[in-house]
Chain A
């Protein structure tokens, strides 16, 4: 039975996490010797839809415009479940983005499917068992979950699976689902885009600051560091609690969990609740003036020193490296 991938877009463009999910879904389809169909909802251009083919989907069901122009999870879940039924898909893949977390459980209930949220690896299928590894205990462990239902919904953690280019153009087919008026009770009034250049949950590099930076006026150097690296900014909880930075930048157990390729922590002690949100980063760099700071125990690279001296020099060194590259 085919695999269905929901390809989430942001203002008509697919995000990196979407292509990761397509690549992941392609690999699942290959495991099962079957085809991969994508479903896109919202106003996405034909050219952009073609991109899905590059990552291995043979076909794209395109639901455009009208009432479904904006994301309403109740309605989108109905459309995705309907598409799954139409093509007979038994595995539905999506990204565990903010919207994905709203959709996956609703699709799961509609299809009587077991749901894996936050998958970090491809499913293993042997001896009639279907298991998937996911994060648990706020990054302190992984759990392997067996799905025992016929239908399965898998939401992939961003940055956990590498994009693979495989395939060519996808056939685009218009899909006009039944829409139920009662699915549109929630209404979007406004979307506020932050001015950040790189969005934190998707970022490949994150530059994060803690209380060691003393005050909001000192964030200029972190902004510059983020800028030269093409990184997103983050902070520890006390920093956002004190309103030095917006709450949307707070990472950790009670904030956003990130898993970038590179996490640079400046003036952050490395409390267990902070680590819960960042410990699945691939490489961790810590800059702290206290050699005993717990963060060094989980870091790959560290500089023991005063951030106010180290960061400007680091910016200079990166600029020199970029000039050479």
Chain B
């Protein structure tokens, strides 16, 4: 089985988010970039599913500064990597570039993370599915492959749905699909020599533009209620906060 895992390069989970240029640019100064945590899950599952009978290609739409993240994915166990040399303008741009690549290089299974932790779009998987005219599932908690068919568990409000889907399809992985893998010494050494091909993007119209950012209004000082008087809390939640 040939698996493709789409990986994004995102600010570390503990990053303090700030903006510059009158709140129009994300301030990357001093920010550590990492492999998107959900993509680590996708990668781990793809490696498990192809062990001994297949390969895992990772693909990223990004400029040269994403290469450390791509090398990390190779160190974890991907077979080879592709970087489409462009700024990831938005989900549509990213999905369009990756779909072009897949049309020329077919895969049996295409995995993304459920969302990237920077823009939290959850869009690339569905857009890829539509562009390739194959099924997509946006957020999955479990993935088994049996021959030409997969069984996936999808999260729904108040429960879960179990689906069967013929290969090829696209799925966005969430917690539960696999435990992320930590690269070992051999992986780190071999990552340096594994193939990473860089290809140029195709031209495509884009439909969206981020024009500004804001941070949530800071909450006021916490109001402390003595542990001996929870009734006071109930009163505040009712009369002041009006939430009960």
A interface residues (Cβ-Cβ under 8 A, vs B): 10, 15, 71, 73-74, 77, 97-99, 101-106, 108-110, 112-118, 131, 133, 135-149, 182, 185-194, 196, 199-202, 205, 229, 247-248, 250, 253-255, 257, 261-262, 272-273, 276, 279-280, 282-286, 296-306, 309-310, 313-314, 316-318, 320-321
Point out the residues of chain B lying under 8 angstroms from A303, CB to CB: 224-227, 230, 233
Q: Given A101-B122, A286-B222, check contact A306 B38 (CB 8 Å).
A: no
Contact: B223 with A301, CB < 8 Å?
A: yes
Mask, B7-35, CB within 8 Å of A = 1, is 00001011001010000000000000000
Contact: B138 with A73, CB < 8 Å?
A: yes
Q: Which of A10, A113, A196, A255 contacts B175 (CB 8 A)?
A: A255
Q: Which of B95, B214, B225 contacts A141 (CB 8 A)?
A: B214
The range of chain B's interface size is 35 or more
Closest chain B CB from A204 CB (angstroms): 8
Point out the residues of chain A lying under 8 angstroms from B91, CB to CB: 105, 115
Q: Given A142-B214, A247-B175, check contact A149 B163 (CB 8 Å).
A: no
Given contacts A118-B121, A255-B175, 14 further A-B contacts (CB under 8 A): A73-B137, A74-B136, A105-B130, A112-B207, A133-B214, A137-B119, A189-B163, A205-B243, A229-B244, A272-B14, A285-B233, A303-B233, A313-B230, A314-B233
Between A and B, 14 residue pairs with Cβ closer than 8 Å are A10-B157, A15-B157, A74-B135, A102-B126, A117-B123, A140-B216, A146-B208, A200-B157, A253-B117, A276-B13, A301-B223, A310-B227, A317-B234, A320-B231
Instruction: Please give me the residue from chain B that is nearest to A319 by CB atom.
Output: B234
Contact: A115 with B123, CB < 8 Å?
A: yes
Cα of A104 to Cα of B13 in the assembled complex, Å? 26
Is the CB of B68 closer than 8 A to any CB of chain A? Answer: no
Cα of A309 to Cα of B132 in the assembled complex, Å? 57
Is the CB of B185 closer than 8 A to any CB of chain A? Answer: no
Residues B186-232 near A (CB distance < 8 A): 206-216, 219-220, 222-227, 230-231
